[in-house]
């Protein structure tokens, strides 16, 4: 892995975007797969998508932020002016720090919510299956999981079970007259909801409904609950007291007309995008809750966790420093592996000394891993330590060079989606 461009974390989260607007940015697993299959943008190949109820983020390498921003723009159908008020852009070391904060539960809507760990694993694995990850992202992913594990085992930041699903079931368990609960969906969220229902409402009849019959039957059988086909959803609603919705549908599956003449009293929409139409809130006999409203009610239970935040931040800083040192070392020795003296590789001991000297300047923040500037300083350092060294430039893979997207190093320049907006393109066009 040579020059990659800049590493970006770009997306939206609960911090500045409510559930209605986050729904526009959300990716279902099928949409992620479709994007991975069709993404042929020359300068945006190594990336992964993290889409949860709290956030939608793209992590990856690009020559400029406008490349991933355009993918979000195309996905949401928003103009650039409509998009930017909601989106944050984090770059290089700031993006690394942000990912570790997310993985550790520090950036969750409910601080210390470790369900994010499983979500990150699923997101990364999907990208990896479609060959959109590289060594840098793999190491970032592993460091993130290690940081999360250390936070969990050495602090009380995750003490107690507090998550959106847990809180929703706890709320429902405190309601009167709840005898039959319908769970719509069969993914990880729905399965966790069923686990909590069986634990805290053992006398309640739970029925699972899912659009995919085979998967629904399998999940229901394993969980020990009843199953009904999606076609029987209207009838099942008539005999249920509450419905908990956790699907990946892109349009609402629960509507006002479906609930109007039912015995449903409580509706919990745990989906992003929202799978319960907004007009359900106009039905007087129904209480509607979504991810944001459920999260607000957990604040009183989180005071002990909040006291642990300084410890969590210290762990995150430590892992960020370790990762950035790994990135610097990896880049340096990748370049050095292409250098030789009299046909032989450079001696390891002297090379390590050369790296240590170079790394002192690198730590000042003047250069960033995998950038063309960093490569130039590495070459200079190697030549200073080994004047007779020969660096074999011809072995570099030019298709991996993303310093700028200009006609001389960008074979797909004319087809690039950002040709009219990226500042780097604009500079190149004027040459």
Three-class DSSP category at 409: coil
Q: Which residues of 61-86 are buried (b: 16+ CB within 10 A; e: fewer)?
A: bbbbbbbbbbbbbebbebeeeebeeb
The string of DSSP codes covering 70-94 is HHHHHHHT--HHHHTTT-EEEETHH
Q: Which of 234, 36, 10 is nearest to 123 (CA)?
A: 36
Q: What are phi and psi of 371, to 5 degrees?
A: -80, 160
Q: In what order do the strands lie in the sheet with 180-184?
A: 226-229, 205-210, 180-184, 242-245, 266-269, 287-290
d(CA 385, CA 71) in angstroms, rounded, equals 44
Q: Helix and strand tally (H, E) in the chain?
A: 18, 13
d(CA 73, CA 134) in angstroms, rounded, equals 25
Q: How many angstroms from the chain centroid is the CA of residue 203? A: 37
Paired tokens of 10: 């770009």
Q: How distant, in Å, are the alpha carbons of 233, 330, 354, 374 from that of 29? A: 23, 32, 46, 36
What is the C-alpha radius of gyration for the chain, rounded to an integer number of angstroms? 25
Q: Which residues of 177-189 are buried (b: 16+ CB within 10 A; e: fewer)?
A: ebebbbbbbbbeb
Three-class DSSP category at 392: coil
Residues with catalytic roles: 53
d(CA 178, CA 176) in angstroms, rounded, equals 6
Helix, strand, coil percentages in the chain from 3-state DSSP, rounded to 5: 50, 15, 35
How many CA within 13 A on the CB side of residue 361?
A: 13
Neighbours of 264 (CB within 10 A): 24
């Amino acid at each position: 892995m040579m020059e990659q461009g800049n590493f970006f974390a770009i997306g939206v989260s609960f911090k500045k975007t409510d559930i209605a607007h986050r729904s526009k940015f959300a990716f279902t697993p099928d949409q992620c797969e479709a994007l991975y299959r069709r993404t042929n943008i020359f300068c945006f190949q190594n990336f992964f998508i993290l889409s949860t109820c709290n956030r939608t983020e793209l992590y990856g390498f690009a020559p400029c932020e406008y490349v991933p921003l355009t993918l979000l723009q195309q996905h949401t159908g928003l103009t650039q002016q409509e998009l930017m008020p909601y989106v944050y852009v984090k770059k290089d070391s700031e993006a690394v720090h942000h990912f570790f904060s997310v993985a550790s539960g520090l950036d969750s809507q409910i601080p210390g919510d470790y369900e994010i760990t499983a979500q990150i694993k699923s997101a990364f694995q999907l990208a990896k299956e479609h060959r959109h990850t590289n060594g840098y992202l793999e190491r970032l992913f592993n460091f993130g999981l290690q940081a999360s594990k250390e936070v969990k085992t050495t602090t009380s930041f995750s003490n107690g079970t507090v998550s959106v699903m847990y809180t929703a079931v706890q709320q429902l368990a405190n309601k009167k007259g709840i005898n039959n609960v319908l769970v719509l969906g069969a993914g990880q969220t729905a399965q966790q909801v069923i686990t909590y229902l069986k634990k805290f409402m053992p006398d309640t009849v739970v029925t699972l409904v899912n659009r995919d019959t085979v998967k629904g039957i399998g999940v229901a059988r394993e969980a020990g609950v009843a199953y009904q086909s999606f076609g029987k959803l209207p009838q099942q609603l008539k005999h249920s007291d509450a419905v908990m919705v956790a699907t990946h549908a892109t349009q609402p599956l629960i509507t006002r007309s479906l609930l109007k003449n039912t015995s449903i009293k409580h509706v919990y929409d745990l989906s992003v995008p929202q799978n319960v139409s907004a007009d359900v809130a106009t039905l007087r006999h129904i209480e509607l809750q979504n991810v944001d409203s459920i999260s607000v009610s957990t604040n009183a239970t989180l005071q002990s966790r909040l006291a642990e935040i300084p410890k969590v931040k210290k762990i995150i800083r430590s892992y960020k420093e370790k990762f950035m040192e790994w990135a610097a070392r990896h880049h340096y020795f990748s370049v050095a592996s292409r250098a030789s003296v009299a046909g032989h590789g450079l001696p390891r001991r002297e090379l390590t000394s050369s790296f240590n000297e170079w790394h002192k300047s690198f730590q000042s923040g003047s250069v960033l891993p995998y950038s063309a500037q960093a490569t130039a300083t590495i070459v200079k350092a190697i030549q200073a330590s080994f004047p007779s060294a020969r660096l074999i430039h011809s072995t570099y893979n030019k298709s991996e060079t993303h310093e700028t997207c200009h006609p001389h190093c960008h074979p797909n320049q004319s087809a690039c989606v950002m040709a009219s907006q990226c500042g780097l393109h604009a500079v190149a066009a004027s040459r």
